[in-house]
Structures are given as structure tokens and as C-alpha cells.
Amino acid sequence: MNRPYNFSAGPAAIPEEVLQQAAGEMLDWHGSGMSVMEMSHRGKEFIAICEQAESDLRELLAVPPEFKILFMQGGGIGENAIVPLNLSRAATVDFVVTGSWSQKSRKEALRYAAEVHTAASGEASGFTTLPDPSGWQLSRGASYVHICSNETIHGVEFQELPDLKALGSDAPLVVDFSSHAASRPVDWRRVGLAFGGAQKNLGPAGVTLVVVREDLIGHALPICPSGFDYKNVAEAESRYNTPPTWAIYVMGLTFQWLKRQREGELGGIAAVQARNIAKAKLLYDAIDASAFYVNKVAMNCRSRMNVPFLLADDKLNDAFLAGAKERGLLQLKGHKSVGGMRASIYNAMPLAGVQALVDYLRDFERERA
């Protein structure tokens, strides 16, 4: 039986092969006689799982050796505090506000950073465009510059990361890549730290991925909880305290699935990116070709992962969602702050799922317009 296509923004769809493998290994992981959930986080089995996940991610995203990969807890919201606790060094921190998530991050930083400066904001456009980096008002001597590279709610995505050096800033770039991590390659030369909760594009809820340049570790404020001090977590190889072992394991299976992907000549993350580009094009083309559906985001910053759209008549929203569910198209309801619909088409969504949605868009319009 085919499973329905799940367009949830998060926790989101996980590749079926990964779910199958986790199910197959549920009662007895590799002859250990234990479920991964039942293992000591200090035993050799779990250490092997954790190290494998780290090295697979390092290979998949070409993470350079001067970066540490940390598996933490607390989610993206937790990192909104953990980042300033570790990196702000009682100096100014800069924020580029491009939607709900960077807005939230900025607000949380006010509690910990000595000074929070908004270098640019897309608010005047209703967060339908990204402020051009050439106009950002970056502070001199800022301890970091925060961006959210994919705004999950507003559906805007930086197609490439800003080059702060070219903008005259020496500050490290902090990137919240929660909702498009591992959807495309990362130019690590432009990054100081990237973080993301796993439940959008990497695996189950409970583990937070942090990739941080080594020189940024070891400067935590005295009030930083010891379990959230990157230095402690890095020295203990993500086992300073009990990590979310099951979530790390399933995320690791997802990294292996990503590494196996092929698209023509392309493999791994390049294949994943090519597929994501094709999926997004299929959906945006269908929305743009119709007057019945609208996506308000500027073409050059449309998210390939989260596609919000409105129906011409929002009184049809409930009928649209009910009809979608009948066809096995789940969790398309938009975020309450923007209304309408949202199709999240993360890595685990196959092209066939997007095609099924596009077919439904056409049929629903034909019936109701």
C-alpha cells in the first residue's frame, strides 16, 4: 500500500526507506540484542552509531575539519538562546530579520547579548522579499551576524549565503538552517555556525544539529548552562550528558539515505539539490500559471522547501484541505500567521508527491473556480 504524501512543515516526512530500516532494526540493532533506545550512550554500539552519523554528515555536506559537528537538544528555539550565550562575548550582535523565525531569534538574543542591532529587515514587504546584502547596516566589531537562511513560515530562502567579508565585516555568520539543512550544498567559507532542529529535513524531533567553527568555541558567558556550552559538548563528542540517542540514530540513517541519492550523473547532496530544484519548479509553475492560486514571494527568494500559497477565495480553504486529504495529500494547512496553505516539500518528498499535489490543484480549480 502506498503511504499518503505528507506536506507537514515539521515534524515532517521521513524517507520511507529510513522508516523501514528503523523498523527492521527496532528490536535488535545489528545483533546487539538491544533496541537503539535501550543502549547506554557510553557503550561501544551507540558510540559507533554517533560517530558514523557525524562522519556521514561531514562527507555529505563537505564540512571542513576546522568545524565541529554537535548533536544537541533544545531545538531551533533553544539555539536562539544557546548561540548568544556562547558567541555574543558581551558585544553587539547583528540580526537580519526576514520572517517569523529570525524575528524570534532576535527577540531571544535581547535577553543575553549586550546589544542587539537590526542590520536589515524585510518586514516592510510583509517578508516577501529579502533585503539585499549590499544595503545591510552591519555593526563594526559585532560578535556575529544572524540570518535565517530559509524562513519556514514566510517561504523565503537565501539562494546563496551572504559573503560578510565582501560586505566589509569580519564577524562570523550564524545561520539558522533548520528548515533546509541538507537540501543543497553549504559554502562553509561563509559560515561561522549553522544550526537546525532535525524534525524538518533531517530526522525525528529531539536532536539539534550544530556545526560550529572551532575558534568560536570556548567563549561562553558565565551564565551559560554547562550542558549548553559548546566547549563541553564538543569535548565530550556530543555525549556530555545523555543525548537524544534514538533521534541521532534515525538522523544518521537519513544521512546515509541522502548519500545514496542519484540523479543522472549527480550523487549525494548535488543529486538532492537537483531534485529539490525540479520539485519547486513544478509547484511554483503550477501556482503561477493559475489565477486561482497565489504565492506572493519574490521570484528570486522563493523557498524550495516551504511553499505558502493562498486560494482566490479563502472560504474554500476547508474544502480544499478535505479534498486533499481524500487524495492522500496530508498537512497542507498554512501557518496561522499567514493563512492559506503551505506545502513543505523537503528532501523526503518525491517528485511524484509534488506531481500529485499539482494534479490536485488543477482539478480543484476546475471544480470550484
Ligand X SMILES: *Cc1c(COP(=O)(O)O)cnc(C)c1O
- Determine the interface stretch with ligand X among 26-34, 54-62, 70-78, 156-164 (rule: CB under 6 A): 70-78
Q: Does 244 bind ligand X (CB under 6 A)?
A: no
Q: Verify binding: residue 127, ligand X, rule CB under 6 A.
A: no
Binding flag, residue 121, ligand X (CB under 6 A): no
The correct pick among 192, 197, 204, 353 for binding ligand X (CB under 6 A) is 197
- One of 101, 136, 246, 257 is an active-site residue; which one? 101
Is 92 among the residues that bind ligand X (CB under 6 A)?
no
- Counting contacts by CB under 6 A, is residue 73 touching ligand X? no
Is 101 known to be catalytic? Answer: yes
Helix (H, G, I), strand (E, B) or coil at 305: coil
Q: Give the C-alpha separation, 78 to 233, whole Å.
A: 15
Among 19, 34, 47, 77, which residue interacts with ligand X (rule: CB under 6 A)? 77
Per CB under 6 A, the segment of 69-77, 112-120, 270-278, 294-302 that binds ligand X is: 69-77
Residue from 49, 53, 63, 148 in contact with ligand X (CB under 6 A): 148
Mark whether 200 is an active-site residue.
yes
Task: Examine the residue annotation and report whether 136 is marked as an active-site residue of this protein.
Answer: no
Residue closer to ligand X by CB (options 76, 122) is 76
Cβ(312)–Cβ(287) below 8 Å: no
Minimum Å distance from CB 105 to ligand X? 7
Of positions 15, 50, 54, 76, contacts ligand X by CB under 6 A? 76
Contacts of 205 (CB under 8 A, 6+ apart): 10, 11, 75, 197, 198, 199, 247
Question: CB 363 → ligand X: shortest distance, Å?
Answer: 30
> Is-contact 349 305, C-beta < 8 A?
no
Examine residue 157 and tell whether it contacts ligand X (CB under 6 A). no
Q: Smallest distance, Å, CB 348 to ligand X?
A: 15
Find where cell 544521512 sits: 255
Judged by CB under 6 A, which stretch of 172-180, 265-273, 333-341, 357-365 contacts ligand X?
172-180
278 within 8 A of 308, measured Cβ to Cβ:
no
Q: Does 101 bind ligand X (CB under 6 A)?
A: yes
With beta carbons less than 8 A apart as the criterion, state whether 287 and 343 touch. Answer: no
Of 54 and 176, which has the nearer Cβ to ligand X?
Answer: 176
Cis peptide before 244 (omega within 30 of 0): no
Q: Which of 81, 71, 126 is nearest to 104 (CA)?
A: 81
* 76 vs 162, beta carbon nearer ligand X: 76
Using CA atoms, how far residue 292 sits from 195, 298, 314, 335, in Å, is 37, 18, 11, 20
Provide the CB-side half-sphere exposure for 365 (13 A, CA). 17
Q: Is 303 a residue that touches ligand X (CB under 6 A)? A: no
Contacts of 206 (CB under 8 A, 6+ apart): 73, 198, 199, 244, 246, 247
How far apart, in whole angstroms, are the C-alpha atoms of residue 175 and residue 158?
A: 11
Q: How many CB atoms lie within 10 A of CB 211?
A: 24
Which of 29, 68, 136, 176 is labelled catalytic? 176
Q: How far is the CB of 82 from ligand X (least distance, A)?
A: 11
Which of the following is catalytic: 68, 200, 279, 333?
200
Piece of 29-37, 72-80, 270-278, 292-300 that binds ligand X (CB under 6 A): 72-80
Q: How many CA atoms lie within 13 A of 180 on its CB side?
A: 29
Which residues are the active-site residues?
101, 176, 200
Which residues sit at the interface with ligand X, rule CB under 6 A? 10, 75-77, 101, 148, 152, 176, 178-179, 197, 200
